[in-house]
Structure 1
């Protein structure tokens, strides 16, 4: 039995398997590009339960409809070897199985158990935050970071994880302090850059945020497509807020779209930025068609409400009504078959009305968009995505309300936005446009 990079035992006698596990964990917590090493390790030693569990996790991280079935192949291979594995390995295996089954509550509980017993395992802390984030358990994200912090006080990524949790809890000053502490420890810590960007975005510090992010951008060049494109996406939001939409469009063309067009998160970044650019008065041209072509190639998938909503936005804005209709029909059938556990309730109560509202917006049916998006807004925290990302759905609702003539309803929301972000001129223009 050997030990991994956390100094914890793993039931394997092959140093190459440990190297594969360590490469996966490092790539996972730093948004690197070498996570696929875990698949080679798992193939090399089917008896290593930890390798099989993390190989399964990587399938699920890709957020495809086929992900759960692919994950179960690895998990099943580990089955005969569970008895000789360590308890931590068995918990990793169980959390991957729960994830594949769509049981977020069980996956979170299992990650909490790993982090509680082995706080050295920073990958487990990151995994716990991942699951919590996707169902809106923001307090849990912060709790797991705070309780494991003593084991990682000199690790930049630990402070980056804590910073993002603090930001999502709206503890903005603390979040910025934690993010900057991470950057002091390691300048190339993109998740900390991301957390500080969230703080600045929330506070409307657009010029400062633009300079901050572009000043660090060279450190993202070797990160995976999600982190690279998403941090550039944040830079583009600052450019829009600073009334420089042409610069944001340049960021879109040069950095946000085109890295890994088949990946869900790259498609989300693209769709969310294109519609914001349209709100800023730019013509997206044929860019919607390119994004929608890659979305349509996915076929109907229901990995997460946040994803489906963005897919529908891309399809409808590109005029692909047949593909959008097929996705909506599939979603309605999927929701009708959901159980009463947490993820099922999220799909039923928020995911479906959100999807229907976004699709109506994309078609230009303003009244329907306003009516369907409205009930979904209260549950947005649980559909996936961050505050900054989910704000898109508020913006769609406000735009639909303006077009539908619901000025009295949307005015207080526009006034609040203008008061919270006084340095962003577009909020004042939006208010003025109501007359």
Structure 2
């Protein structure tokens, strides 16, 4: 008589422990569910873990496959069977240029982020596994990525205004599917997972062909992440004297000049993202070029910012040309940098620009000329109404969207 097969290992204790660690104090969480085995497993595990927490489910319908709408409906049915509210978020890719998969990924995160904010969710959980972590490591190695790229797939990260959680990085894809089969839980197989035109599919097949150990690759990515965190702490110490004022930053030059190139690069990336609010860092080559310019005492532009040595300090401010390109705002949030209060109907926020500066007597504000030109102004049509940073003008109020706390978070960002 043949021996009975060993039961499928239960991945839920480790995933529950990760959820306790990452989200134990969060009263409401979202979970992104495509319908594939990984995200379905996460949804089912979170439903059992909730213990009074509010759990909500969202599916992004990218419209890239014929059956995507029907699959979203199937996920809605699964969620309802677990007593979880579900919403389908739709993306319209028409007219998008460039890398379709990258555009779809960013659109998915933006849609989920907006959904999370609308529903007061503290974070959104994603169904990435050890396999995803290993595949990402190999993809980034093939591209020659630096330590941040190789350390991708952290357990949590902040991006697009949302905290993203990955509580299943310790579990393998096959392990999760074995668990689903043992529980007689269904999931949806995505046919694009077998299409060789996608880089991740090619890497996945290469890993299988070389019989590489997924768990070992995932551990290697985790070890690189630990090294990245150490560098981030070093960078934070080197920038502890940073001063944030009126949407600009100043850093002491000596700690920067004494630090290794990688620390200086990380700080320049963090300052640029703090100034602009960009979701992604500037390209490595352009950052290194900027570092070379700064080292010789020259002023340089980088990703919509101006970086200029000023005595013993380095000043980083918004580039006026970039501020002038920013779309006018009628809701008070402008250039991803400022929140302006007191707007009346028919008024909008846009950059001051250079032309009005003489009449505003801008030097009295204490701002540099470029800072003044890039600062927010209230306009009615083509008529300048007020420039809050240059001259107090109630009832208008101006507040930067980011302060010193946000800068420290960006220095430590995953």
| Structure (1 or 2) with the larger CA radius of gyration | 2
User: Which of the two has greater strand per residue?
Assistant: 2
Pick the structure with more helix per residue.
Answer: 1
Q: TM-score by structure 2 length? A: 0.33
Compare relative contact order (CA 8 Å, sep 6+) and give the higher one, 1 or 2: 2
Query: Normalization by structure 1: what TM-score?
Result: 0.32
